[in-house]
A and B are shown apart, each in its own frame.
Chain A
Amino acid sequence: MTEDGIRCDGRRLDELRNISIKVGVLKNADGSAYIEFGKNKILAGVFGPRDVHPKHMANPDSGILRCRYHMSPFSVTERKNPAPSRREIEISKVIKEALQPAVILKDYPRTVIDVFIEVLQADGGSRCAALDAAAVALADAGIPMRDLVSACAAGKVADRIVLDVNNEEDQEGQADMPVALMPNMGKVTLLQLDGILKPEEFKTCMQTALVGCKRVYEIQRKALMEKYFQNGEQ
């Protein structure tokens, strides 16, 4: 990072990578989205509500949400074994738990909503990007939601708090903190921290990440509006 706060990829400290979202890209899914978050390229597909298999998982009171985060073997520089790794199982779990407060499952007893996330190309911060795509795909599937979920990471690189940590900064940096937010309700649904931050650093880091989430939300919103109203905002 340079003295005046220009980062390794030329961004300022509080600058996001380029984000673009496309809605409804998979024909066979009930809802889908494709996100490009910097160099991250991620597909999310939502299937359901549908019958639960195995049947013993079904809940007679409400629907259930299942989530699978998977990285393609070619998504990273060295070939990745396609079997779900420890890391992927963890990310599947945290994404599920980040989406769950937003999704209204009560209306669909005895059913399941499956969210499949496939990382085609990874470049740091893929769990946040995956979560953004998954939230849009759920909205596209018409699953009732209290709010969208927007996620963005912040971190500490060369003793400075930066927004949206990329792969290089993640490797070399001191901390990485992914945050997911329900923007209209102002509720945080995911907060992880890898690294060490002082209390005051944590506060600025959190503020930075929340600002990032709100900017991501605007992009998610625009993508949905474009698909359903050809951007004819009233």
Chain B
Amino acid sequence: MMDVKRRYVIPGDVIATGPLRPEQNVYQDGDRMISTCVGISEIFENSVKVIPLTGGYMPKTNDLVIGKVIGTSPLSWEFDINSCFVGFLPAQDVFGRDYSPTKDELRQRLDIGDLVATRIANFDRSRDPLLTVQDRDLGKIEAGELVEISPSKVPRLIGKRGSMIQTIEMATKAIITIGQNGWIVISCEDSEGLLKAVEAVKMIDALAHTPNLTERVKSMLGVPDGENNDTIND
């Protein structure tokens, strides 16, 4: 495994000095690498980054997000995607190219309050994020429990190569859809499994920065220790 140095940092902390590349949440001042948020810094061979422990969701192209319809205009839906920007889903994305505002009614497909799994098709500084549902597993979410966690803890919930989420899904037989924006939909036929899965997700949100989290989740779910140990951040 690559040697990575980790440290707890707050804004203004100098993580390292020297010819390194600043990555997410790192600000370069001369040759000093400075953390811009509260989090865990990681120094790699030639780059530095900080995994944030707080903060909202910043849209990124190709992210899968769960959105809630908050309004419609004649040609698009507006989505709350748990971010400072409103997501737009063009009507043509759902109705096809022959969409006509006079003929089709947007609200019949997706009404206000509906939850939708979408992907961010395009986003830059000058425009609000453009969403799409043209992909496998995307579209309206018919059933399930919505759990909100901090967007900065989503990578921890997924775990290394999806290990954490697989553990929960196997133990509870739940189907979990994770939006990068921190909104998670859990559906399960068995109500006890659903409650357990919700509890596990909330536990990861609360204890994301602590070591041996996989072990704790496993013992909470009553899973015997396997070989599939997740060691990220431990």
Residues of the B chain whose Cβ atoms lie less than 8 Å from the Cβ of A144: 11, 25, 27, 36-37
Given contacts A142-B55, A184-B34, A228-B209, contact A148 B125 (CB under 8 A): no
Instruction: Give the contacting residue for A146; candidates B34, B52, B55; CB below 8 A.
Output: B34
Q: Are A148 and B11 in contact (CB under 8 A)?
A: yes
Q: Are A143 and B55 in contact (CB under 8 A)?
A: yes
Given contacts A31-B54, A142-B37, contact A228 B27 (CB under 8 A): no
Q: Give the residues from 1 to 51 in chain B that come closer than 8 angstroms, CB to CB, to chain A.
A: 6-8, 10-14, 25, 27, 29, 34, 36-38
A-side interface residues, number (CB < 8 Å):
36
Q: Are A224 and B36 in contact (CB under 8 A)?
A: no
Q: Are B54 and A142 in contact (CB under 8 A)?
A: yes
Given contacts A139-B11, A146-B12, A185-B12, contact A224 B38 (CB under 8 A): yes
Residues of the A chain whose Cβ atoms lie less than 8 Å from the Cβ of B162: none
Q: Are B58 and A107 in contact (CB under 8 A)?
A: yes
Residues of the A chain whose Cβ atoms lie less than 8 Å from the Cβ of B187: none
B53 at the interface (CB under 8 A from A): yes
Q: Are A141 and B54 in contact (CB under 8 A)?
A: yes
Residues of the A chain whose Cβ atoms lie less than 8 Å from the Cβ of B125: 109
Residues of the B chain whose Cβ atoms lie less than 8 Å from the Cβ of A229: 8, 209
Of B6, B10, B25, most A-chain CB atoms within 10 Å: B10
Q: Please classify how large the interface on chain B is, using the bins under 10, 10 to 19, 20 to 34, 35 or more.
A: 20 to 34
B177 at the interface (CB under 8 A from A): no
Q: Are A139 and B38 in contact (CB under 8 A)?
A: yes
Residues of the A chain whose Cβ atoms lie less than 8 Å from the Cβ of B52: 142
B113 at the interface (CB under 8 A from A): no
Q: How far is the CB of A190 from chain B (nearest CB, A)?
A: 16
Q: Are B84 and A145 in contact (CB under 8 A)?
A: no
Q: Are A142 and B152 in contact (CB under 8 A)?
A: yes
Of B12, B34, B38, B58, most A-chain CB atoms within 10 Å: B12
B126 at the interface (CB under 8 A from A): yes
Q: How far is the CB of A150 from chain B (nearest CB, A)?
A: 10
Q: How far is the CA of A112 from the CA of B58 in the complex (A)?
A: 14
B56 at the interface (CB under 8 A from A): yes
Q: How far is the CB of A218 from chain B (nearest CB, A)?
A: 12
Given contacts A142-B56, A228-B8, A228-B53, contact A184 B13 (CB under 8 A): yes
Q: How far is the CA of A153 from the CA of B82 in the complex (A)?
A: 40
Q: Are A104 and B36 in contact (CB under 8 A)?
A: yes
Q: How far is the CA of A229 from the CA of B10 in the complex (A)?
A: 11
Q: Are A146 and B126 in contact (CB under 8 A)?
A: no
Q: How far is the CA of A156 from the CA of B188 in the complex (A)?
A: 69
Q: Are A30 and B12 in contact (CB under 8 A)?
A: no
Instruction: Give the contacting residue for A30; candidates B27, B56, B86; CB below 8 A.
Output: B56
Q: How far is the CB of A61 from chain B (nearest CB, A)?
A: 8
A6 at the interface (CB under 8 A from B): no
Residues of the B chain whose Cβ atoms lie less than 8 Å from the Cβ of A146: 11-12, 27, 29, 34, 36
Closest to A145 in B: B11
Residues of the A chain whose Cβ atoms lie less than 8 Å from the Cβ of B10: 139, 148, 221, 224-225
Query: What per-residue 1/0 map shows which CB atoms of B197-234 lie under 8 Å from chain A?
Result: 00000000000010000000000000000000000000
Q: Are B12 and A60 in contact (CB under 8 A)?
A: no
Q: How far is the CA of A228 from the CA of B85 in the complex (A)?
A: 27
Q: Are B126 and A109 in contact (CB under 8 A)?
A: yes
Query: What per-residue 1/0 map shows which CB atoms of A83-117 lie under 8 Å from chain B?
Result: 00000000000000000001010011111000000
A183 at the interface (CB under 8 A from B): yes
Q: Are A139 and B8 in contact (CB under 8 A)?
A: no
Residues of the B chain whose Cβ atoms lie less than 8 Å from the Cβ of A225: 8, 10
Q: Are B84 and A50 in contact (CB under 8 A)?
A: yes
Q: Are A183 and B84 in contact (CB under 8 A)?
A: no
A232 at the interface (CB under 8 A from B): yes
List 13 extra interface pairs beyond A111-B84, A139-B38, CB under 8 A: A51-B84, A109-B126, A111-B85, A142-B38, A142-B56, A145-B12, A145-B36, A185-B29, A224-B38, A225-B8, A225-B10, A228-B38, A234-B6
Can you list 29 A-B contacts (CB < 8 A)? Answer: A30-B56, A49-B56, A50-B84, A108-B84, A110-B85, A111-B85, A139-B10, A140-B54, A142-B37, A142-B38, A142-B56, A144-B27, A145-B11, A145-B36, A145-B37, A146-B11, A146-B12, A146-B27, A146-B34, A148-B10, A148-B11, A183-B12, A184-B13, A221-B10, A224-B38, A228-B209, A229-B8, A233-B8, A234-B7
